[in-house]
Structure 1
């Protein structure tokens, strides 16, 4: 069991799992989280799905979604990822998986979530499958156009801003880059394509985010297994905790903006250092930000001006990305956060809806707004491997299924989500579970 520097920390699911990782580790990275998860899942070099162990080594290069997912998840329980990534032809996928069966697991899963055949999530999967077979699961022409357009617009706008030494133009370039990265987030959830690397035009890594975001946050949102919700502690604390001090609850209203603006710089610098030291695998896409820097220095009147332009573009992008992402639907006081009372039967799908809220604003139903603001967030969490352009086809099915299970599909305006983010920072009391409404 991994140790924690906060012995008072209690999961909402006592006795069901162990906290993965060392709480309070300075500037943790996703590979450390993954190593800790392997220790806690304790299955050697195999892969676990529900209560069976498999050896997928011979399947790595045959996986339709790409080799990354199989290689990265080796030695871990991939039940949540397996269930949420395979919706169409699920029975055929199970037959393929069975070919690699090794033995039954001897320990219970280090996860609280259930996948009962008559439960909400499995019922929903069966109902959306025929629709997705008809409309497909991959990106539409509109999504591809938006991705390509924002990438090209960023390059042109940043180049123009550096040439003119125009702060407003450079800020606009940063905002365009933010839209490009957010759209690319859709692509790194999907099977491999070159468009996933549009995410690397920023100072982040699509490869690392497949761990921290796809395999951690998406599978266990707002819980102690969610790397993204604990990675900034103790500077930023999202989970309700009586031990939160005044600075963590209220001073964060001020210093959060520094973190938003400078966070990308810190993670990129750490990635570069760890790559040079051999701690991280070398990924060619890490060179993209350096290529951007070279271009801006070349077109700017002076080298220093080009460097400042590069900093401003990525600082503006990082600020927008963090603010929009954190206020996308997870961090409002009505959202479940570990420490709140959990539902007694933690169905995977219902727990995703407890931790994720949709937006009421009509404009948030526009595809291009969805792509640039992490829209349709609850559905995206339920089916992360389905392109955003297809989610509207299954939304009525999801809403009807929620109603049938006597649950409440809550929506909140974007403005209230932004305000709620600040309220969540300050919240130190746990919420009680309310049947039908989550918490």
Structure 2
């Protein structure tokens, strides 16, 4: 299969995706400095259902239900005017019949035009089979966080407060480096909590220069549901610095990230802060109270540091360390950018089962170190099960391992984890890749 030709994004309105089901090129995908709210606005244009919510081919009015939603009203209000089929299925694993009965109460009418999403949820398909098997297990063990994992993240939060305070007060470079590393692990751990029902621990994410609410959109609503496709904002927002989709690329776009990637990791959080300030200034998003946390940090550190310039420098330095480590884990060692992972432009499955397409775009880490709960929590670990069931706490995912492996075997699917080192190398191999790859499952069928 030849690489896709088209716009600077790698695919074009004439050739929207290697998935036949994506029949529209996402609105405003190539808009520079786009934030999650603008991505949602583009999705509303494409889904074209007014102020309702779409699940499969039915429209619902969830306005009066929003305040009753167990996960919090914000998720409902945020997705108004969009197709929430993937979010609905992936978010509700336990007590499914009850959830479906509640949804039916808010039915408005059928919709006749097809969904933009390529994914299917056939009852006898991989994902729905796995989901039926996972449901009773999760009804028994629950989906919420355990005391153990809450103690882990709260411990990281306390450690950050202490390390940063004494690092700034004593002007200790070592303590400030440790504070930055701890902050990176803290916000990765917070990612576990903003997938779940509303809770205060998700705001640990706002201790950094990033925003928990923005990440709920770009990560939970976009990336998790449309992984490595043209609809994934975490792909488009890294362009043109990182061109992950297979297509024609210049020599510099293929190999220059090997030189500047680490500099980009250092400044990434600051770029996000600048982008947020710009969006607030031009009215594309609102200033939220938690956005002020980092500035409160700055004010306190300026007061306790040996001098005001030292306090400012310490603030910049600690957040630069956090930015570097976070991006190194999230992008440099990403579970999504090994060249064996599906990237839009590669050959897609003929039957785009949601669960199998998620697995196509993921590689779990095979190292023994990455099987421990603390490391899973602080490195985006257990990634395959997390993508299949994002609202289930990381501490509960191991309960699903047996039925997961059973279902893979039943559907004759193979899933091969790789080492963290291979993921680091693979990220740069993927950036250099220009050829689109055939799908292994389709090759197997032909044989």
TM-score of the pair, normalised by structure 2: 0.95
1:350, distance to aligned residue in structure 2 (A): 0.2
Indicate whether 1:29 and 2:51 are aligned: no
Q: Which residue of 2 aligns with 1:295?
A: 300
1:436, distance to aligned residue in structure 2 (A): 7.8
Q: Which runs of 5+ in 2 are unaligned?
A: 1-5
Indicate whether 1:88 and 2:88 are aligned: no
1:8, distance to aligned residue in structure 2 (A): 5.1
The 1:368–1:34 alpha-carbon spacing in structure 2 relative to 1, beyond 3 Å, is same
In the alignment, which of 309, 315, 318 is matched to residue 323 of structure 2?
A: 318
In the aligned structure 1, how far is the partner of 2:444 from the partner of 2:120?
A: 16
In the aligned structure 2, how far is the partner of 1:20 from the partner of 1:40?
A: 7
Indicate whether 1:264 and 2:269 are aligned: yes
In the aligned structure 1, how far is the partner of 2:9 from the partner of 2:268?
A: 24
Q: Which residue of 2 aligns with 1:171?
A: 177
Indicate whether 1:72 and 2:78 are aligned: yes
1:297, distance to aligned residue in structure 2 (A): 1.0
Paired residues for 1:39-438 under 5 Å: 39-242=45-248, 244-326=249-331, 327-435=333-441
8 Å CA contact 2:20–2:118 kept in 1: the answer is no
1:422, distance to aligned residue in structure 2 (A): 1.0
1:392, distance to aligned residue in structure 2 (A): 0.5
When the two chains are superposed, the root-mean-square deviation of aligned CA atoms in Å is 1.7
In the aligned structure 2, how far is the partner of 1:356 from the partner of 1:260?
A: 22
In the aligned structure 2, how far is the partner of 1:6 from the partner of 1:289?
A: 33
1:268, distance to aligned residue in structure 2 (A): 1.1
1:5, distance to aligned residue in structure 2 (A): 5.9
In the aligned structure 2, how far is the partner of 1:94 from the partner of 1:133?
A: 16
1:27, distance to aligned residue in structure 2 (A): 1.4
8 Å CA contact 2:10–2:245 kept in 1: the answer is no
Greater CA drift, 325-334 or 81-90: 325-334
Whose relative contact order is higher, 1 or 2, with alpha carbons under 8 Å and at least 6 apart?
Answer: 2
Runs of 4+ in 1 over 2 A off after TM superposition: 3-10, 14-17, 21-25, 272-279, 436-439
In the aligned structure 2, how far is the partner of 1:437 from the partner of 1:285?
A: 49
Deviation string 1:160-192 (CA, Å, 9 cap, x unpaired) is 111122222211101000110000000000000
Greater CA drift, 428-437 or 349-358: 428-437
1:278, distance to aligned residue in structure 2 (A): 3.5
TM-score of the pair, normalised by structure 1: 0.96
8 Å CA contact 1:407–1:437 kept in 2: the answer is no
8 Å CA contact 1:356–1:378 kept in 2: the answer is yes
8 Å CA contact 2:29–2:39 kept in 1: the answer is no
Q: Secondary structure at the match of 2:440?
A: coil
8 Å CA contact 1:24–1:234 kept in 2: the answer is no
Q: Which runs of 5+ in 1 are unaligned?
A: none
Q: Secondary structure at the match of 1:102?
A: strand
